[in-house]
Amino acid sequence: MNEATQDYVRPGYETPPVPGFPHAPLGWSREDAEGVARSEGMTLTDAHWQVVRALQDICARNEQPAMNVRDLHDALDEHFHAEGGIKHLYQLFPKGPLAQGCLLAGVPPPAGTQDKGFGSAV
The predicted structure's pLDDT at residue 6: 52
pLDDT band at 77 (very low <50, low <70, confident <90, very high): very high
Number of domains in the chain: 1
pTM (2 d.p.): 0.77
Closest residue by Cα to residue 107 from 14, 31, 26, 17:
26
In a domain, 11, yes or no: no
Single-letter amino acid code for the residue at 120 = S
In a domain, 6, yes or no: no
CA 6 to CA 104: how far, in whole Å?
Answer: 23
In a domain, 31, yes or no: yes
In a domain, 98, yes or no: yes
In a domain, 120, yes or no: no
CA 5 to CA 61: how far, in whole Å?
Answer: 20
Question: What is the share, in percent, of the chain residues with pLDDT greater than 70?
Answer: 75
Q: What is the pLDDT of residues 46-73, one digit of tens each?
A: 999 999 999 999 988 876 556 788 888 9
In a domain, 9, yes or no: no
Runs of H (alpha helix) within 1-122: 3-9, 30-39, 46-61, 69-79, 85-92, 97-105
In a domain, 32, yes or no: yes
CA angle 46, 63, 37 (to 5 degrees): 30
Closest residue by Cα to residue 24 from 48, 60, 76:
60
* pLDDT at 16 > cutoff 80: no
Q: What is the pLDDT of residues 20-54, one digit of tens each?
A: 777 888 888 999 999 999 998 999 999 999 999 99
| Parent domain of 47 | 25-108
In a domain, 10, yes or no: no
